[in-house]
């Protein structure tokens, strides 16, 4: 599963100041929707491992939140 690959990479440890979460970007909304149809617990699988799954719309919302929270 791609989420496990992202957890193993541990990109956050490369930088002194980095977020404690990773974002798995899926560029097509229909693909993400189909993935959730196949595995309804997909989102809940990533969150405890600090990997959030983002579509274009949710990625933009996340980036705006980070920008205004900084």
Averaged pLDDT for residues 12-31: 84
- Residue 1 — pLDDT band, cuts 50, 70, 90? low
Percent of residues, the chain, with pLDDT higher than 90: 46
What is the chain's alpha carbon radius of gyration, rounded to the nearest angstrom? 13
Flag whether pLDDT at 46 surpasses 80: yes
Average pLDDT for 15-21:
77
Write out the DSSP string of 24-49. Answer: EE-S-HHHHHHHHHH-TTHHHHHGGG
More confident position, 9 or 65: 65
């Amino acid at each position: 599963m791609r989420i496990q690959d992202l957890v193993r990479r541990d990109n956050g440890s490369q930088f002194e100041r980095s977020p404690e979460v990773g974002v798995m970007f899926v560029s097509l909304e229909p693909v993400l929707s189909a993935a959730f149809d196949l595995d309804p617990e997909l989102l809940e699988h990533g969150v405890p491992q600090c990997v959030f799954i983002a579509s274009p719309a949710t990625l933009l919302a996340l980036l705006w939140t980070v920008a205004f929270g900084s």
